[in-house]
Amino acid sequence: MNASTRRHDLERLAGGETVDVVVVGGGITGAGIALDAASRGLSVALLEQRDLAFGTSRWSSKLVHGGLRYLQHGEWGLAWECAVERATLLRTVAPHLARPLPFLIPLDDAVARGTALKSMAGLRVGDGLRMAARTSRRALPPPRRVSALEARRLAPALRASGLRGALLSWDGQLEDDARLVVAVARTAAAHGARVLTYAEVTGLRDDGVEAVDALTGAGFMVRARRVVLATGVWTGALTGAVELRPSRGSHLLVPAYRLGEPRAAVNVPVPGEHGRWVFALPRSDGLVAIGLTDVPAPGEPADDPQPDATEEAELLDRASAALATPLGPGDVCGRYAGLRPLAAGDGETADLSRRHLIVDDPSGALAIVGGKLTTYRRMAQDVVDRLTGRPCRTHRLPLVGAAPPAALRSVCAPERLVRRYGTEAPALAALADGRPELLELVAPGVPVCGAELLWGARHELALTSSDLVDRRVRAGLVPAWRSAVVEAVEALGLDAVAEAGRTPGM
Ligand SMILES: Cc1cc2nc3c(=O)[nH]c(=O)nc-3n(C[C@H](O)[C@H](O)[C@H](O)COP(=O)(O)OP(=O)(O)OC[C@H]3O[C@@H](n4cnc5c(N)ncnc54)[C@H](O)[C@@H]3O)c2cc1C
């Protein structure tokens, strides 16, 4: 997918081609639906107002949850769905992007013995779901209690005084959420879906949708037998069929060296709030993400939501409770926030169900809201089951770049690239043939190389400098990284080329 395929797809659709289904919204939900429908043999157009993963899907905690937390709310169905989808992602669909991550619950003064026993019982139930979903114990080992020494080996910044040990358990982590969206959309395109970014849908009709090409301002119509809205927190602009109560979740990013290069995530209980935690998640890019808040966010959804000062202070405070040296504002090198597209209900946003909801719009369109990144495949299956009787195939369908972990270990390319691009890493590295500097980091400590930027423009439908910097390589998460990568994009001439609608070097 690139600027040329977009132009071609736009010409076909605006020229009157009728598709079986038009999917509106290029987040994980819309990309998942496009893939499910295309892989069942339906003709599909996916229209995204900005870029793939422009919305909530790039602001997640990047976890593939086994569903343990939903058990606390008695949502057994959702917990089971999460455990099954986690197994499918880790084993078949995206083993290159999803992998196991150890989690510690430190047992210190803040965790009474009774609470520790209850937490262990919960972890064992979660492990039961893991077994029932047939995830091997080699992939996700069962929970166990570890000594204070072992806990500090996994997370060296933990405060030693008062530490009795820790509970160790395992869950799934994504290399990056936006990369998952791009991989799903590209797999959909490989099954024939037409994927148009910078195509804003402005109206629903009973024979399709009206849209505007955001690059030229030209209006066009896409004719479709069925319309599906997967527009997240923006759904209210296109249909009144469902009421949303978005909530903001914020993360802070700190350099991993500040926390002693942890190899495990740490869950710290929020005092006085049963079942709520602040976590510190080590990432593969040398950062640790500290999250997560849950604050009502009424009104127009922001394109670029930001944590407020209270959330930032709260996260630093709560994480510091378990650390030998407290974190301060000076340790934060990046921050981000996302809006959860929760369906309205009674009570606090933290208590609203994360289950997805499919509703009918009077125009005949279906709208899907809520759900999780983890369960995107199942959500897509539920929607497409309403459109066709053909059987779903996506539980057996690896995404582009996917291969079993053993096969990934033998891919001949730098390890960092295999982690992000899977079996496509050698093809990406080959872009540097004759220009080895394209495999070097664009600046010291900035985990991005020039070949990734070329790859994004040539194969991943990056049309603007921001598409590359903020959503294909994620340098936008750290302002200091962002400026270095913007410079690299300009030096490669990719900013002007992409924005002019041409594809570099093709
Ligand atoms: C802070 C936070 C942390 C989270 N952490 C996790 C986690 O660790 N694990 C997990 O499984 N889940 C997590 N989630 C949940 C998960 O991220 C979301 O459920 C999911 O990303 C929602 O995806 P979506 O595609 O429905 O919405 P979005 O990603 O918002 O996609 C909607 C898309 O529709 C487009 N659009 C809107 N209007 C139009 C229009 N008129 N025309 C064309 N396009 C349009 C938007 O530009 C956008 O790209 C988290 C959520 C938040 C907020």
Confidence at 346, pLDDT banded by 50, 70, 90: very low
Average pLDDT (246-275) is: 91
Atom of ligand 1 nearest to the CA of 237: 41
User: How far, in Å, CA of 494 to CA of 446, rounded?
Assistant: 19
Whether omega before 292 lies within 30 degrees of 0, making that bond cis, reads yes
DSSP for 444-462 reads TTEEEEHHHHHHHHHHS--
Residue 61 CB–ligand 1 contact under 6 Å = yes
Q: For 209-218, what is each residue's pLDDT tens digit?
A: 999 999 999 9
- Rounded-to-integer distance, Cα 146 and Cα 140, Å: 16
Backbone angles phi, psi at 485, to 5 degrees: -75, -35
Give 208 Cα–ligand 1 centroid separation in angstroms. 23
Q: Do the Cβ atoms of 432 and 471 come closer than 8 Å?
A: no
Three-state secondary structure string covering 238-297: CCCCCCECCEEEEEEEEEHHHHCCCCCEEEEECCCCCCCEEEEEECCCCEEEEECCCEEC
Instruction: Check whether 351 has a pLDDT greater than 50.
Output: no
Identify the band that residue 495 occupies on the pLDDT scale cut at 50, 70 and 90. confident
Nearest CA to ligand 1 atom 6: 60
Query: Which residues fall within 8 angstroms of residue 68, CB to CB, at 6 or more apart?
Result: 79, 122, 123, 125, 126, 129, 171
Tell me how far apart the 2 most distant CA atoms of the chain are, in Å. 70
Ligand 1: residue whose CA is nearest its atom 27: 232
Name 368's Cβ contacts closer than 8 Å, sequence gap at least 6.
29, 33, 228, 229, 230, 356, 357, 358, 359, 379, 382, 383
Q: For the whole model, what pTM was predicted?
A: 0.95
Q: How many other C-beta atoms lie within 10 A of the C-beta of residue 283? A: 20
Supply the angle between the helices 479-491 and 450-459 in degrees, to the nearest 10.
70
- Percent over 70 (pLDDT), the chain: 96
- What angle do the packed helices 76-88 and 113-132 form, to 10 degrees? 60
Substitution candidate for ligand 1 out of 57, 93, 176, 239 with most atoms within 8 A of CB: 57
Question: What are 56-115's pLDDT values in tens digits?
Answer: 999 999 999 887 778 777 788 889 999 999 999 999 999 999 999 999 999 998 888 888
**402 CA → ligand 1 middle, Å:** 23
254: Cβ contacts below 8 Å, ≥ 6 apart: 287, 288, 290, 327, 331, 332, 333
pLDDT at 324 over 70: yes
Give the Cα separation of 131 and 374 in Å (integer): 18
| Mean pLDDT value across residues 427-454 | 95
